[in-house]
Amino acid sequence: LSLHDALPIYCDFLVTLGYTRSEAYQLLFMILELVSTLCYTAIVLHQPDDIEQLKPMLFTTIRKMIERS
């Protein structure tokens, strides 16, 4: 499944949580940017820590970003 194919699926899921389609795409973009930047710096530069140490906090942060209050 490519990103091109997966994006509408994730977007549809976020819409069921109460996001508009526009908000869903924006949120997915933010999450992808966060994950890619953090992974790069953790794996290549070992900053701010090893990726294995950061994954639990990263997963929690992504879940909180997705939750609707």
Helix or strand run (H / E) with residue 62: helix 51-66
Higher pLDDT, 69 or 40: 40
Q: Mean per-residue pLDDT for 48-63?
A: 95
Question: Does residue 23 contact residue 10 with C-beta atoms inside 8 Å?
Answer: no
Q: Of 1, 30, 33, 35, which Cα lies nearest the Cα of 14?
A: 30
Q: What average pLDDT does range 55-69 have in this prediction?
A: 90
Q: Indicate the DSSP class of residue 17.
A: T
What local confidence, expressed as pLDDT, does residue 3 receive? 80
Q: Say what the pLDDT of residue 69 is.
A: 53
Choose among 8, 60, 66, 11: nearest CA to 38.
60
Q: What's the whole-number mean pLDDT along residues 13-41?
A: 95
At 20 the pLDDT is 96
